[in-house]
Structure 1
Amino acid sequence: MDLTAALATHRLVAIVRGADPDAALRTVLTLAEEGVELIEVSLSGKDALTVITRARAAFGPGRPLGAGTVLTAEDARAAHAAGADFAVTPGLGEGVTTAQELGLPVLAGVLTPTEIITARALGVAALKLFPLAQAGGAAYLAALRGPFPDAPFVPVGGIDENGTRACLAAGALAVGVGSPLVGDAADGGSLSALRDRARRFRAVVEEAGR
């Protein structure tokens, strides 16, 4: 898949990490029903590879599905075997290079200018600016766009609806959102509340694109 183009089109990545694999799967499917096109299942969740496998079977081959928290070469191989279309990493390491060797585009975790330069030299699809809220929020993103005006930044980490607005206004390609969007749904919480949050975040993204 062309991950960079998909990020530019949809501008929102939902990050699902749960302690209940069945609830995590229901969360993934509910997000998809609500029109969230890019979904990442974090490998740090319980039985995440099974969740990815089951979600892929439910979606069929056409819908993008990502594996997050890809740290090692083995993580990348397991995510690929489970049916992931793209990999998301918290940093730079074997997970990045092995995923790319397997044909999975990578949203690679970076924070500093040196890491940004390194990641771009590796040819990653986009740059997961993480953890953004703790690093200074949209103001930090705006500062980085000075030396890196065309870098495909995807801020992640503590980004709520207001943070989504601010980051997209500051030039983010897309945003990655975990708990402010998913809440406790992946642990067995309300899917109705999840639907409401998904609609609100989609409305924010659509407004930013006008």
Structure 2
Amino acid sequence: MKLVEDLRTHRLVAIVRGTDPRTTLASVITLVGEGVTLVEVSLTSKDALSVLAEARAVLGPHAPLGAGTVLTAGDARAAHRAGADFVVTPAVCEGISAARDLGLPVLAGAMTPSEVVEVLRLGADAVKLFPAASAGGAVHLRALRGPFPQVPFVPVGGVDAAVARSCLDAGAVAVGVGSPLLGDAADGGDMDALRLRARAFLRAVAPERADR
């Protein structure tokens, strides 16, 4: 997959993390059905690799499916075997270079300028600005875009609809959203409520039309 192009096009990465494999899988399928194209299953989820493999089987070979919280080379290899198309890390770690060696694009976590330089050196395709909301959101993003104007940034962490809009307006290529989007759906909660939140976030990240 062309990760950066997909991020620019779809502008939203859903982060699914759950304690119930059945409803974690159902959440992935529900999000894709509502039009959330980029979905990441965190490896901290219960039976995450099985969820990834089952989601791949249900969605087919062409749906972009990511593995999140990839830290080690073993994590990257396991995600690749389970059918992940891309990996997401929370920090500078060996999972970045290991995923690149496997041909998987990487959205790598960083917060400081030094970390941005390091994840790019290791081969990251885009930078996950994490944790975004608690560290200044759009203000911090604008500061980083000064020395790194060409870097594709994806703010993640505490991103609700308002923060998503402000970060996209500040130059983010996309945002990553976990609990504000998922709620308790992946833990056995209300799937209808998840559908409504998905539609609301898709509206929030949609590009504004020039004729409005």
Q: TM-score, normalised to structure 1's length?
A: 0.98
Q: What residue number does 2:138 align with? A: 138
Question: Equivalents in 1 of 2:138, 2:176: separation in Å?
Answer: 13
Unaligned runs of 5+ in 1: none
Residue 149 of structure 1: aligned partner? 149
How many angstroms apart in 2 are the aligned matches of 1:67 and 1:208?
30
Report the Cα offset of residue 207 of structure 1.
Answer: 4.0
Maintained 8 Å contact 1:113/1:144? yes
Q: Which amino acid aligns with 2:70?
A: V
Distance 2:55 2:68 in 1: 14
CA distance in structure 2 between the aligned counterparts of 1:98 and 1:35, rounded to whole angstroms:
30
Amino acid at match of 1:149: P
Q: Distance in 1 between matches of 2:170 and 2:142?
A: 5
Q: Distance in 1 between matches of 2:90 and 2:167?
A: 19
1:8 aligned residue: 8
Q: Secondary structure at the match of 2:67?
A: strand
Q: Give 1:5's aligned amino acid.
A: E
RMSD value, Cα: 1.0
Q: Deviations over 1:65-87 (max 9, x none)?
A: 00000010100000000000000
Tell me the amino acid that sits aligned with residue 80 of structure 1.
H
Instruction: Provide the aligned length of Structure 1 versus Structure 2.
Output: 210
Q: Equivalents in 1 of 2:118, 2:91: separation in Å? A: 11
Which residue of structure 1 aligns with residue 64 of structure 2? Answer: 64
Return the alpha-carbon distance in structure 2 between the equivalents of residues 79 and 67 of structure 1: 6
- The alignment partner of 1:176 has SS state of strand
Deviations 1:105-150 (A, max 9, x none): 0000000000111122223110000001121111111111111111
Q: Percent same amino acid at aligned positions? A: 63
The corresponding residue for 2:123 is 123
- State the secondary structure of the residue aligned to 2:100: helix
CA shift for structure 1 position 152: 0.3
User: Which residue does 2:78 correspond to in 1?
Assistant: 78
Report runs of 4+ in structure 1 exceeding 3 Å deviation: 207-210
Q: Tell me the distance in 2 between the aligned counterparts of 1:207 and 1:161.
A: 14
- Say yes or no: does 1:189 pair with 2:175: no
Aligned AA for 1:98? A
User: Match of 2:156, as an amino acid?
Assistant: V
1:17 maps to a residue whose letter is R
Range with greater deviation from structure 2 (169-178 or 117-126): 117-126
TM-score after normalising by structure 2? 0.97
The CA deviation at 1:209 is 6.7
Query: In the aligned structure 2, how far is the partner of 1:208 from the partner of 1:124?
Result: 29
Q: Aligned letter for 2:198?
A: A
Q: Tell me how far apart the structure 2 counterparts of residues 186 and 85 of structure 1 sit (CA, whole Å).
A: 21
Matched AA of 2:126: A
Alignment partner, residue 40 of structure 1: 40
Structure 2 CA distance, aligned partners of 1:209 and 1:121?
Answer: 36
Residues 100-111 of structure 1 aligned to structure 2 (within 5 Å)? 100-111=100-111
- Residue type of the partner of 1:162? A
| Corresponding residue number in structure 1 for 2:180 | 180
